[in-house]
Structure 1
Amino acid sequence: MLRLSDFDAVTFDVYGTLIDWEPSIVAFLTEWARKAGVKADGEELIMAFDRARAEIQKERPAHLYPEVLRRCFDRISAEFGVPVDAGQREAFSRTPHEWPAYSDASEGLKTLQVRAKIGALSNIDNASLSSSCAKMDIRFDIVVTAERVGAYKPAQEHFDTAIADLDALGIPRSRILHVGQSLRADITPANKLGLKNAWINRPQRLLGLSGEGAAEARPDLTVESLAELLDAIA
């Protein structure tokens, strides 16, 4: 069993784990599909997005996240056989600033930060993450973004950078707990690096649960919310 007393730092995936991005993406793409005459339901659209971003995030040099979203929009438009709407494309690239936090995120992070350092390991750009941190009213002790390291999880650069940042604070990797919603981008790479980890399997959410590496994920603990995680490890 995992116990908070065994860790000096808890690092988090942000989008999907702390920020509830999926309904907003589904809503945007559903409205786009309606206007474009695309016959697809929300699950088809979100999975098209998931496939597109997984491929685009492998490209090097890495794109900033707004550009990832633009390219995702291009691929989704092509997949459903409609021309790219330039205005909608640009609007989609700005949506991270609108994504809401889960209701348990702010209180849960503040509770944890009293007892441990907290970190953000996020496939995002710095400006978008700043907007999300403001929504959660939180300041992370360490922050590793795709913009900072020039790569997207599950690339090891994210985790190596976080481990180095925490080592500089006197925290060894054996005292780090990593928490994420994405099996593909968080749990599987944490397994490979020997990091203890918890999977927040948010109900009715699909992003990051399939694709390359997802089937290999072996979480040390599975919960459905940050509040449940705190109860389990307190």
Structure 2
Amino acid sequence: MSFPVHAITLDLDDTIWPIAPVIVRAEDALAAWLREHAPRTAERWPVSASRELRERMGTERPDLSHDFTQLRRLALEQMFREAGDDVALVDPAFDAFFAARCAVEHYPDSVDALERMAAHVPLAALSNGNACLRTIGLMHLFEFQLGAREHGVAKPDASIFHAACARLDCVPATVLHVGDDVEMDVVGAHRAGLRSCWINREEREWPHRQLEPDLQFPTLAALADWLETARTPETTRP
């Protein structure tokens, strides 16, 4: 399939890097920080308990479902308060967590594929997560990063896709959104009027009968191959 692509928006977690091991390492880094700086909190809230609290916080505060940073900070505040520690420790504790959260390990194909795609069309990051591309070291490949926290609403809401298209100065039909999540990325992009590409690294079966992604690849490298093969004046940067 070939169609004009004036810009590409990309999901981050589980699209450019796997997120599960990152979160495990970040939670371990937070636990180590607590043992050193707030031992009462560390004893009261081992990793399993702090994880359950963070998940419960998300259920209790649906108004913050788009803001993982604030949910994490609220969970930390409750942990310190219940353990009798100073809630002012929230800032440095979160910093310890977030530094590890941004210490991602990319899929082997990701960086080269991003460089190849960025040579042809503008790239923008469009994520529900709170990773920082500048900290990670990929910001130079992107025009901008738009997160659910900054926008105020998460994918699959159409408004976040449209906000990205507006910043790219592209109509939705000429923007290709790339991501791993069936509902958040592919269905969300489709309903917002964008083209969609499903990155299906695990060879999952597509679950919908009446809606399919415009493209499907097992890696970002395969998408970069397609972009170069389908290159037209509309898919070449000046």
Q: Structure 1 residues 136-145 or 11-20, which shifts more?
A: 136-145
Whether the 8 Å contact between 2:15 and 2:199 is mirrored in structure 1 is yes
Q: Which residue of 2 aligns with 1:203?
A: 202
Choose the corresponding residue for 2:70, options 67, 70, 82: 67
Calculate the aligned-residue CA RMSD, in Å. Answer: 4.2
Whether the 8 Å contact between 2:58 and 2:64 is mirrored in structure 1 is no
Q: Which runs of 5+ in 2 are unaligned?
A: 32-42, 84-88, 230-238
Q: Which residue of 2 aligns with 1:128?
A: 132
Amino acid in structure 1 at the alignment position of 2:174: R
1:116-155: CA deviation from partner (whole Å, max 9, x where unpaired): 1111112244x723213x1x36331233122321222223
- TM-score (ref. length: structure 2): 0.65
Over the matched positions of the two proteins, sequence identity in percent amounts to: 25
Q: Which residue of 2 aligns with 1:16?
A: 14
Quote the offset at 1:225 in angstroms.
Answer: 0.8
CA 139–37 in structure 1, closer or farther in 2 if over 3 Å, else same:
closer
How far, CA to CA, are the matches of 2:145 and 2:47 in structure 1?
A: 41
Q: Which residue of 1 aligns with 2:23?
A: 25
CA 69–100 in structure 1, closer or farther in 2 if over 3 Å, else same:
farther
The alignment of Structure 1 onto Structure 2 pairs a total of residues equal to 202
Whether the 8 Å contact between 2:66 and 2:152 is mirrored in structure 1 is yes
How far, CA to CA, are the matches of 1:92 and 1:69 in structure 2?
A: 9
- TM-score (ref. length: structure 1): 0.66
Match status 1:164 vs 2:166: yes
How far, CA to CA, are the matches of 1:221 and 1:56 in structure 2?
A: 37
Q: Which runs of 5+ in 1 are unaligned?
A: 39-44, 78-82
1:20-60: CA deviation from partner (whole Å, max 9, x where unpaired): 2222224566997xx9596xxxxxx9xx89x7798578424
Amino acid in structure 1 at the alignment position of 2:217: V
Whether the 8 Å contact between 1:106 and 1:137 is mirrored in structure 2 is no
CA 13–57 in structure 1, closer or farther in 2 if over 3 Å, else same:
farther
Amino acid in structure 2 at the alignment position of 1:147: R
